[in-house]
Each structure stands twice: as structure tokens, then as C-alpha cells.
Amino acid sequence: MRPVTVRILHPEAGPRAGVLGRWLAAERALIAQRHVEAFRTAGAADVAIVSGPPDATSFGERIRALVRAERPEGLVILGSGAIPLASRRDLRDLVEAAGSDASIALANNIYSADVVAVARASTVLGDVPDLPSDNALPRWLAEVAGYEVSDLRRRWRLGVDVDGPFDLVLLGVDRAAPVDLGRVHVALAGARRVAGDPAAELLLAGRTSAATIAWLERSTASRTRVLVEERGLRTGLAGQRPPASVLGELIERDGPESLGATLARFGDAALVDTRLLTAARFGRDEAAWPDAEDRYASDLLAVEAITDPWLRALTASAASASIPILLGGHTLVGPGSRLALRRQPAPPWT
């Protein structure tokens, strides 16, 4: 097996980060430190965290620079919040793929990658284009570079990614939380009650998958209503049409304060991907969205901490609704739904 390099990209909290952004960065740093030791145990030759303040550098440009400077033979690349629930077997599989002599790659999910293992990395990644994020790397490897790319999407735990503070709450990490988590815990408890009630109906809206829907049907007592939209929202592929959402259209028509009442018409509890609603309103470019601190506060139902009027009204409507409503990103409506709807053991880095 060829020697394998692992690089864990860790964005530090920037100078404009608020209390939630700093909390997130600190906890992601702990995940990254755990991954360093775990990947070494899994057989990687060189494991390091690459950290720095947020900047405008694209993912593709960052990878090109890394590969041209270090010339790694096999490379595993991931973010500091990626795969926090990975097992030893998972990490070994990634290291073994990166150490292959063949032109192969292995991702946690080919369509929405948080970690990618690339064999013979220096021969291919020095020419990777300016991909906006890691999500598109496996498809570029398969469709442009001619690599044989496989994934581990059947292992749901590898889809859990700490993108925001609410993902920490789903993982049971509440220590030193800088805002009151009372509302979100009440909503979580309410959603779990609904999921266990055969007479109730649970609504899931956003970028979910067939695997998550199958798990809900198999593992919850409630009936399931699902609205699946914009699965490829963050792939950044050329030619994509602007984001659109049926639920977003209803909110635009009736105003953000209508969210709670709208969802209550269709279910007894709801898990909602608000990144999709935000993209449908403001466009795909996150620079035009409410800032990260507002989005994090919205996920935690911390209405008073939100400055953007539209997002504040949307969140207030969810927090005061007649049904429990959870707001979040793709993790919530994907593999994180398992964490939201049934209690899990504390993650291994606590």
C-alpha cells in the first residue's frame, strides 16, 4: 500500500464570528484532534490539521495548492466537522482506498461528499478546477478525471457532518453552549413523542434521501409525510437552475410568519431544511444569505439572537407553532434525523 496523507481542513472562527460561531469552531477543533489520532491508528502515514481564518479561497484552489506543495501519493481530505461518528473500520477503508495503486477514490457520499480518499492523488488533483466545495469532488473525479469512484452512503453515520451548533446538540454536545437551548430541547422531545405515536404524522421537508425515508418508515411509529427538494443544492455544478422550493413558495406567498401554521396543516411535528428555504429566497450564493450567526441561532430557535428580519420571523413562527418544529440543514433531514428522533450515546470525543 502506498503511503497515505490525511489533511483535515479546519476553518477557525473569523474576526466577525459571534458566540455561536466561536463555539462551533472550538468543538470542530476537538473533532479534528480526535481524527488525527484515529487516522494514525488506521494506518495513515502523515496526518495533520490545516487551519486558518475563513477566506475566499475555493475548495478546488485549496486542494491544488496542497497537492502541488506536498505531492502526496494517497490523500484523504475532510473538514474538521466531518464524520464525527466514524468507526475504526470506516477510517481503515478510507486509508486503504487512498493507498491503492489504482485510479480509484472513495467518498462517504458521491453526491454530497464530506470526506474523499483519492489514490495517486498527486497525478490528478494538481489540476482540479475551482470547485466551490468538497461536495463536487467525487463527481469531477468520475466524470472528468476518469477515476473509479465508490462511496459508503449505506453507512448512515458517515453522513453526519457538524455544519452548525444544532448538529452538536443532535450529537449530545451541550457543554458551554453560549445561548439557552431550552426551546430546541423542548422541540426535540416533542418530535420524538410524535415519532412514537401511531396516530400522528411526521413531516420531513428538504434535501432528504430515500435511505432516510426508508429508515423513518421502518423505525418510527408515526405516519410519514416527506417533501424532497433540491438534493444537489450545494454541488456547484455548471448549468444548475436557480434553487426553488414548493414550501418556499408558500412562505413567499403568505410571509415567513406563516411557517408554523403552514406546517401544522400537514403534520404533527416537522423537521425542516431551512438552508433550502434560504436559497430559494436569496439565491444559491451564501454571501447573499443572512449571516452564519443568524442561521445558527435560527437552528437553535434562539429568536432573540437573530438580526435578519425574514429569518427572525420564520424562526419565531416555528418556535411558537402549535406543533414541535426543528429547523436545520441537510444533516437534520438526512442522517441526523436518526439522532433527532431517538436518543444516541454521547460521541466518542466527549
Report the first-to-last Cα separation within the chain, whole angstroms: 33
Looking at residue 179, its amino acid is V
Contact predicate 137/128, CB 8 Å = yes
- Please, what sign has the CA dihedral across residues 320, 321, 322, 325? negative
pTM beyond 0.85: yes
* Cα 222 to Cα 202: distance, rounded to the nearest angstrom: 6
Residue 75: count other Cβ atoms within 10 Å of its Cβ: 26
Q: What is the pLDDT along the chain (350 residues), one digit of tens a residue?
A: 999 999 999 999 988 899 999 999 999 999 999 999 999 999 999 999 999 988 889 999 999 999 999 999 999 999 999 999 999 999 999 999 999 999 999 999 998 899 999 999 999 999 999 998 888 999 999 999 999 999 999 999 999 999 999 999 999 998 889 999 999 999 999 999 999 999 999 999 999 999 999 999 999 999 999 999 987 676 555 567 788 899 999 999 999 999 999 999 999 999 999 999 999 999 988 889 999 999 999 999 999 999 999 999 999 999 999 999 999 999 999 999 999 998 554 555 44
* Cα 345 to Cα 222: distance, rounded to the nearest angstrom: 23
* Cα 47 to Cα 131: distance, rounded to the nearest angstrom: 23
Helix (H) or strand (E) holding 209: none
